[in-house]
Amino acid sequence: MDEILDIVDLVADSGFEGIVTWLVRLVGLVALLGGLGLWLLTDMGLLVVPAVLILVGLVLLVAPSILLLAAELA
């Protein structure tokens, strides 16, 4: 966890925190929409792949804010 906070702190110091945050959120949104699309628009018997994509998408949408807050508090 310390390594992740060090990387986040380095990104925050370089001034690219906004760009990186929105890039990670965009990837999360694409994963979320892909999972919902697989679940709703296809006839998949196995629902593991859409569920994993939805879960990863939600985590990526929330994680940048939490990591930057943790880096500021540390």
28-71 tens-digit pLDDT: 999 999 999 988 888 766 688 889 999 999 998 988 878 777 76
| Residues 56, 36 contacting (CB under 8 angstroms) | no
Domain ranges of the chain: 2-69
- Report the distance separating Cα 65 and Cα 36, nearest Å: 23
pTM for the structure as a whole: 0.70
Show the tokens assigned to 44.
């998949």
Q: Do 61 and 10 touch, CB atoms closer than 8 A?
A: no
Residue 43 gets which letter from DSSP? -
What is the reported pLDDT for 29? 93
Residue 32 corresponds to which tokens in the numbers above? 């979320």
